[in-house]
Each structure stands twice: as C-alpha cells, then as structure tokens.
Amino acid sequence: MKKFFTYLTLLLAFGFLFLGCSSKKSTVQEYNKPAIYWYNKMIKQISDYRLDEADDTFTSLESEHRNSPLLPSAMMIIATAHMEEEEYQMANYYFDEYLKRFSLQKDADYIRYLKIKSNFLAFSRQFREQSLLHDTLEQTNEFITSYPRSEYIHLVQTIKSRLLMAQALFNKEIAELYGRLDKPEAQKIYEQKAASKWQEHDKIEEPNTPWYRAIFE
C-alpha cells in the first residue's frame, strides 16, 4: 500500500511538472513572423470572439510589418469588429489611426462615415453626453461639406437629423426644468435653443428604447 501511494505521489508530481512546462510553452511570445501569419491569426481570433488577443496580434503585425499592404485591411477589420461588439472607443481609435496613415485612400469617406456611425451608436445616455453629441454633429457637418457626392451622404444626413432632435429634446428638458424652478428668463433661452435645433417638437417621439439605432437595424 505504501508503494502504491509512493507511485501515485510521483505520478502526480510528474503530472504537475508536465503541465507547468506546457503552460510555459503556450505563453512563449511569438515574433519575427510573416505578415500573412499575423493577419490570418488575427482573423481567427476575431472569429473566435477573442478581441483582446486580436489587438495584440494586430500590434505584432503593425510593429513587424509597418509597410505591409495587409495593414490597412487588418486595421479596418479589427476596427469594425470592435464596433460590432459595441466597443466604440476602441473602434474609433483604429478609425482615427487609419485616417492618419491612409487618408489618401479612395475609401476615406467610408472610414469617416464609420467613425460618425460609431460615435452615434455610442450614445447610451441621451441627455448626458453633450460633448460627444456636439463633436459628432461637427463631424457630420465636415462630412457633408467634404463629401457631398459620397454614397454615404444620406446616412450621415439622417444621423445629423437624429442628433439635432436629441439636442432639441435636451434643451426642451432644461427649459421645462427652469419652468418648474420659476426662472422664466432661463426657460425662454432654452426654449429658443430647442427651437433653433428642431422646430417641430411635437413630432419628436420621446425615446424609451435606443431609438438612435433603428436606422442600422
């Protein structure tokens, strides 16, 4: 019986040793791989919903092959993957990087549209993200001025209209608040602001669900 426990202890010891070696082997950092290797690995990780690992793999591709023709495509794919997973901050980071490095690409209007869409979908609290709302409105105005013949112009114009409605509702809420506080002058100012953004307030449906996503669903 003692021999049995001795053998069992040795087997367990060897088992833990083997697992430890395997674990160390699996965490060995890869480097100096062809661009296509990193590209395919990133695609596989995205398809397996392992975006954190895909980010690391993209970093390897970018650092080892900064001039690879695969880089623009890889950057677009991972940016879109983050947007699909509602990780809008990361998506916008990649869109910004794409525009900085590949702004002369013929699809620049598409990338700018995607960034506007990403910002638009990022609104989780309608009346509390005024800075993002203002910045996105500016982006829509720049897009409309810069790409009047873009195939995405109508989508951007629709986003702008939705944002103006949201801004009008926000100003209307503030006006009503000042009304309840018996501050008629402040109330009038915000009523005028609301009217300047959208005149037909009665036709704006109060949102109970993420209404701003509807045009993409």
Q: What's 63's domain CATH number?
A: 1.25.40
CA dist 41 and 171 (Å) reads 49
What's the whole-number mean pLDDT along residues 54-76? 95
pLDDT at 4 (0 to 100): 39
Token match 């114009």: residue? Answer: 157
pLDDT tens digits, 7-39: 434 444 444 444 444 444 444 578 889 999 999
CA dist 68 and 126 (Å) reads 41
In a domain, 156, yes or no: yes
Q: Are the C-beta atoms of residues 201 and 168 closer than 8 Å to each other?
A: yes
In a domain, 2, yes or no: no
> Averaging pLDDT over each range in 18-27, 104-113, 182-191, which range is the top one?
104-113
Query: Residue 83 sits in which domain range?
Result: 32-105
Domain count along the chain: 2
Listed in sequence order, the residues at least 6 apart from 8 whose beta carbon sits closer than 8 Å to its beta carbon are: none
Same domain, 133 and 197: yes
| Of residues 123, 43, 109, the one with CA closest to residue 80 | 43
3-state secondary structure 101-162: HHCCCCCHHHHHHHHHHHHHHCCCCCCCCHHHHHHHHHHHHHHHHHCCCCCCHHHHHHHHHH
What's the whole-number mean pLDDT along residues 105-128? 82
Share of the chain above pLDDT 70, in %: 71
Give the range among 73-87, 187-201, 203-217 with minimum mean pLDDT: 203-217
CB atoms within 10 A of CB 81: 22
Read off the pTM: 0.69
CA dist 8 and 209 (Å) reads 61
In a domain, 131, yes or no: yes
Listed in sequence order, the residues at least 6 apart from 181 whose beta carbon sits closer than 8 Å to its beta carbon are: none
Same domain, 163 and 209: yes
pLDDT at 2 (0 to 100): 45
Coil, strand, or helix at residue 193? Answer: helix
